[in-house]
Structure 1
């Protein structure tokens, strides 16, 4: 709060405080608390962001295919684990309940893509069975999730 200190006439040059009715407006903003809050939020989001991805551990096979463009919605993923179990997003789902649950989830979404993640150690037959069941249920946009940077068919020169 600012006060005015001016010499009064007849006071021998002494300065006295004169109280005004309206205190002068403070022209500085203290941004330190705002910066502190922003730094804390930044740290929280940096720690939480990797946890927002689907957390089913699988060893994806590597291919030379490029990544698909990113979407606005969180991708809908079905994961086939190393022991052959099916996981819808992060919830393990029995085979007979997969299609009804998937239909319920897809009714609330605008994007109809499904990403199929499968552990590289499981037989190809299991992946094809899941893809066939999805296709038979009417889901046509199925993408296979792999790791990039794998071998190409033509070898290293192609």
Structure 2
């Protein structure tokens, strides 16, 4: 006597809904962590400032300064003694260069001024301090509230 099987084996593809949900979570995670991709390897906490972001500075030279006063140029640690040579080499043959200084919000004003002076001596006359836009604050609304 033969018994019939109650269960049949099925080979189905997973549903589209769980895959779409996982893709949405991955996308959300990547968008939330995009700030971590700005300067990999250099832990700098930029100050938060309300206001419009400047235009694109993709051709600029970027120097990072952490809270302990350590300098990083092109994600490589440099000293105050070697920074002028590095900047001169990077600025060779280029005009109207811009230095973007990503200084930690706890870095001393003396260190920031010293880096700007080194850049000026290397032939880079424009220096910007990088900041993060203020969270949940729109500049136009903030000025309206203060004036009333």
Q: TM-score, normalised by structure 1?
A: 0.57
Change in 2 beyond 3 A, CA 1:156/1:140: farther
Could you say which structure has the higher helix fraction?
A: 2
Aligned to 1:115, what secondary structure does the other structure show? strand
Give matches, 1:108-147, under 5 Å: 112-147=97-132
User: 2:81 aligns to what?
Assistant: 96
Query: What are the superposed Cα offsets for residues 80-126 of structure 1, whole Å, 9 maximum, x if unpaired?
Result: 11110110020100111101111111226576111001111122121
Change in 2 beyond 3 A, CA 1:146/1:71: closer
1:70 offset after TM fit, Å? 1.4
* 1:54–1:89 contact (8 Å) kept in structure 2: no
1:137 offset after TM fit, Å? 2.9
User: 1:63 aligns to what?
Assistant: 49
1:155 offset after TM fit, Å? 9.4
Where in structure 2 are there 5+ consecutive unaligned residues?
Answer: 1-29
| Divergent runs of 4+, >3 A | 50-53, 108-111
Query: Aligned residue pairs: how many?
Result: 110
Q: Which has the higher contact order (CA 8 A, sep 6+)?
A: 2
Change in 2 beyond 3 A, CA 1:156/1:146: farther
Aligned to 1:130, what secondary structure does the other structure show? helix
1:156 offset after TM fit, Å? 5.0
Distance 1:63 1:82 in 2: 18
Q: TM-score, normalised by structure 2?
A: 0.60
Aligned to 1:116, what secondary structure does the other structure show? strand
Change in 2 beyond 3 A, CA 1:137/1:107: closer
If you compute each CA radius of gyration, which structure gives the higher value, 1 or 2? 1
